[in-house]
């Protein structure tokens, strides 16, 4: 039965190849290899040793049946089962034919002829099934290929997705950073805007005060001059009274009245002059920078004004005392400023500082040491002047107002409320710098002036 042996060889090869058995199930692959070897040997025997033919046929049947058994009993082979359908009828018929050969010929003659024709059909069946199965297999493979491609595509997609996610995360981080930067910028802008509004307020107040100041000078001209001339007139009146032929009592009365008038006129004049001083102070605000900038030794200027202010205050009040501490940066060199104006600012700030420590001294225990510091520092493209006192500080409620014109905490008549306002103008408008105060109530006040170089 050469055909059957060839079928076995063919079938084993088919299984080993299609199921990739060397990789996926090496144990079965070994067994199949042995079967393959036996089949090849038997094919050789079939040709060379004729008497063995019936046994070879049976051995082929057994191998074939074993293969069928394995195919149906082992799960791993289930994909190869359809091909079995092609071989099965032929094998069954071959077995049946050989079984029939064992029986006496006449007894089964009709059965044998039936088997012969069945054998022909089974061959046709086998070929047809083979073709169909192959076709199905090819279709399946195509499907598998498709699935594999899809899988590959999916893998590409998922790797792309992962890449995208990384990019998205990066962009999100970037955006978050930008957002934070923008928020930072916005808050800085808001702070600048607040400063600008404040500066604008000060500027318009400055213009307003300048206008008012000029207009007030006209009526003040009359107040001061009429009161002064009235003093003279009243004095003349007294001279005239002396010449009158009236009794002493009447003269005394008239003299008393005229004395009162003189006194009143003098008071009007004094207060008029006070108002004039305030107005002149206000006008210094609007005075266009008449002074010229010149290279100035800021340290020397600060030292000079510190001593000037201190001795000025000592001259007014002998009991006044305070220690002065200076820390000058010798690398500052010559700075281009209007020395008289910066001097005025220093004078204002130092007067305030000394005033603050003197006020605190009045109320403090003996161990309080009133001190005023002046510090200069050269920084990148700017210089800093700090004037610090260990007085009572500025209450938070008024800190915003200290640079406004006419704002003062000093008792009436002691301050015009123009010192800091004027200083603000000189530093910001006149010199393009900045001035601000740092303070803690009860412990210190520090004014920080920054001038660009």
Partner 1 sequence: MKILVVDDERDIQALFEQRFRKEIRNGEMEFEFAFSGEEALVYLNNPEHEAVLILSDINMPGMSGLELLRQIKHKFEAPPPPAPVVMMVTAYGDSENYNQAISLGADDFLTKPIDFNLLKEKLKNKA
Minimum CB separation of residue 199 from partner 1 in Å reads 23
Residue 231 or 358 with smaller CB distance to partner 1? 231
Rounded-to-integer distance, Cα 145 and Cα 441, Å:
84
Residue 10 or 222 with smaller CB distance to partner 1? 222
DSSP β-bridge partners for residue 106: none
Residue 276 or 438 with smaller CB distance to partner 1? 276
Rounded-to-integer distance, Cα 195 and Cα 193, Å:
5
What's the CA angle centered on 242, arms 238 and 246, to 5 degrees? 120
Minimum CB separation of residue 261 from partner 1 in Å reads 15
Q: Cite the beta strand spans of 137-192 per DSSP E.
A: none
Minimum CB separation of residue 200 from partner 1 in Å reads 23
Minimum CB separation of residue 217 from partner 1 in Å reads 4
Minimum CB separation of residue 237 from partner 1 in Å reads 13
Minimum CB separation of residue 347 from partner 1 in Å reads 23
Residue 234 or 423 with smaller CB distance to partner 1? 234
SS3 state of residue 258: helix
Residue 143 or 236 with smaller CB distance to partner 1? 236
Residue 124 or 229 with smaller CB distance to partner 1? 229
Rounded-to-integer distance, Cα 234 and Cα 11, Å:
150
Residue 100 or 210 with smaller CB distance to partner 1? 210
CB 39 within 8 A of CB 8: yes
Give one DSSP letter per residue of 290-341, joined into a string.
-SPPEEEEHHHHHHHHHHHHHHHHHHH-TT---EEEEE--TT--EEEE-HHH
Residue 142: both structure tokens together: 């195509």
Residue 188: both structure tokens together: 């800085």
Q: Cite the beta strand spans of 332-370 per DSSP E.
A: 334-337
Minimum CB separation of residue 254 from partner 1 in Å reads 21
Rounded-to-integer distance, Cα 389 and Cα 438, Å:
11
Minimum CB separation of residue 447 from partner 1 in Å reads 29
Rounded-to-integer distance, Cα 387 and Cα 327, Å:
11
For partner 1, the binding residues (CB under 8 A) are 214-215, 217-218, 220-222, 224-226, 228-229, 233, 272, 276, 283, 286-288, 290
Rounded-to-integer distance, Cα 398 and Cα 425, Å:
19
Q: Provide the CA 397 distance to its chain's centre, in angstroms.
A: 33
User: Quick one: DSSP state of residue 411?
Assistant: P
Residue 247 or 290 with smaller CB distance to partner 1? 290
Q: Which of 413, 411, 393 is nearest to 402 (CA)?
A: 393
Q: Which of 335, 332, 337 is nearest to 427 (CA)?
A: 337
Minimum CB separation of residue 203 from partner 1 in Å reads 17
Residue 293 or 386 with smaller CB distance to partner 1? 293
């Amino acid at each position: 039965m050469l055909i059957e042996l060839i079928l076995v060889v063919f079938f084993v090869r088919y299984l080993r190849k299609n199921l990739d058995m060397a990789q996926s199930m090496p144990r079965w692959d070994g067994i199949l290899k042995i079967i393959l070897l036996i089949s090849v040997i038997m094919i050789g025997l079939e040709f060379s040793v004729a008497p063995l033919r019936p046994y070879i046929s049976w051995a082929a049947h057994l191998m074939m049946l074993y293969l069928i058994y394995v195919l149906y009993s082992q799960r791993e082979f289930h994909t190869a089962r359809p091909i079995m359908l092609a071989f099965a009828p032929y094998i069954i018929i071959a077995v049946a034919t050989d079984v029939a050969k064992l029986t006496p010929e006449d007894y089964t003659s009709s059965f044998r002829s039936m088997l012969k024709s069945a054998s022909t059909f089974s061959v046709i069946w086998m070929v047809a099934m083979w073709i169909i199965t192959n076709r199905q297999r090819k279709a399946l493979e195509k499907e598998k290929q498709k699935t594999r491609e899809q899988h590959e595509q999916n893998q590409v997609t998922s790797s792309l997705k992962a890449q995208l996610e990384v990019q998205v995360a990066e962009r999100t981080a970037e955006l978050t950073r930008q957002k934070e930067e923008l928020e930072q910028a916005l808050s800085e802008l808001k702070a600048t805007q607040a400063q600008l509004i404040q500066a604008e307020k000060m500027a318009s107040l400055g213009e307003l005060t300048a206008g008012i100041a000029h207009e007030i000078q006209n009526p003040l001209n009359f107040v001061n001059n009429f009161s002064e001339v009235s003093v003279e007139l009243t004095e003349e009146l007294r001279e005239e009274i002396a010449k009158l032929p009236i009794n002493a009592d009447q003269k005394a009365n008239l003299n008393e009245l005229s004395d009162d008038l003189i006194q009143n006129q003098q008071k009007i004049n004094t207060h008029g002059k006070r108002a004039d001083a305030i107005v002149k102070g206000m006008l210094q605000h609007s005075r266009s920078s008449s002074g010229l900038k010149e290279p100035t030794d800021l340290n020397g200027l600060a030292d000079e004004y510190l001593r000037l202010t201190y001795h000025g205050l000592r001259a007014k009040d002998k009991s006044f005392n305070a220690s002065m501490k200076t820390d000058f940066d010798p690398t500052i060199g010559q700075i281009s400023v209007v020395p008289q104006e910066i001097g005025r600012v220093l004078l204002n700030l130092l007067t305030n500082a000394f005033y603050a420590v003197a006020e605190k001294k009045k109320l403090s225990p003996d161990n309080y040491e009133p001190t005023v510091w002046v510090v200069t520092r050269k920084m990148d493209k700017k210089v800093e002047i700090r004037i610090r006192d260990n007085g009572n500080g500025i209450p938070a409620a008024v800190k915003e107002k200290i640079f406004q014109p006419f704002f003062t905490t000093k008792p009436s008549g002691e301050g015009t409320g123009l010192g800091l306002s004027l200083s603000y103008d000189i530093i910001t408008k006149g010199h393009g710098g900045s001035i601000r105060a740092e303070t803690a109530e009860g412990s210190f006040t520090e004014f920080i002036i920054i001038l660009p170089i």
